[in-house]
């Protein structure tokens, strides 16, 4: 008998300048972008196994006919408004900032790749409010032709008091490509 189960695709994590590309079976799946010049780390673009981009890249990259509202909505990001009265989700400038500090783990493999990083949530007075440890597990199913991202995020207070206000802006944000928007009632894949 011949075993027809395919081997899981190879996932590589390729370091670049202020980025780590997640490459599955030789094709870019997503990139973890970070740097002192960014308001917060993010994953962008995110692609399906067939290569279709499913999230918006504005203002990093302009796409003809693409929306230009809410410039803080880029790719996939993790942030919260308001933390001690500071808007980390809606930030478009470098103060306040969720500043990437270091990569602590990068590991590729068959069907999975793992990336862990530390970031600091810094307010307008340059005080570190939180330390974020983020672990991203990238998964490519063996024969299902599916990709997944599993995020685990730990936040540790770095000042005596940290208060998360109860508002609508925050946590995990995924800004989809315009053609997937439901508001026009013409979403299509």
Other beta carbons less than 10 A from residue 83's beta carbon: 22
pLDDT per position as a tens digit, 61-89: 555 555 554 444 568 889 888 899 998 87
Q: Is 179 helix (H, G, I), strand (E, B) or coil?
A: helix
pLDDT per position as a tens digit, 41-50: 999 888 888 8
pTM for this entry: 0.81
Instruction: Give whole-number Cα distances, 101 to 56, 92, 118, 172, in Å.
Output: 25, 19, 5, 20
Lowest mean per-residue pLDDT among 33-42, 43-52, 55-64: 55-64
């Amino acid at each position: 008998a011949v075993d027809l189960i395919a081997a899981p695709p190879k996932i590589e994590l390729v370091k670049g300048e202020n980025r780590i590309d997640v490459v599955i079976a030789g094709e870019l799946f997503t990139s973890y972008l970070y740097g002192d010049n960014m308001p917060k780390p993010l994953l962008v673009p995110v692609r399906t196994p067939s290569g279709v981009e499913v999230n918006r890249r504005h203002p990093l990259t302009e796409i003809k006919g693409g929306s230009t509202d809410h410039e803080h909505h880029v790719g996939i990001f993790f942030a919260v408004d308001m933390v001690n009265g500071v808007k980390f989700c809606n930030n478009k400038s470098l103060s306040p900032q969720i500043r990437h500090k270091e990569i602590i783990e990068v590991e590729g493999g068959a069907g999975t790749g793992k990336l862990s990083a530390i970031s600091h949530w810094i307010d307008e007075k340059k005080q570190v409010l939180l330390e974020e440890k983020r672990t991203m597990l990238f998964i490519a199913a063996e024969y299902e032709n599916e990709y997944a991202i599993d995020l685990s995020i730990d936040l540790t207070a770095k000042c005596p008091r940290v208060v998360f206000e109860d508002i609508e802006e925050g946590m995990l944000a995924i800004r989809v490509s315009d053609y997937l928007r439901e508001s026009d009632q013409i979403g299509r894949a």
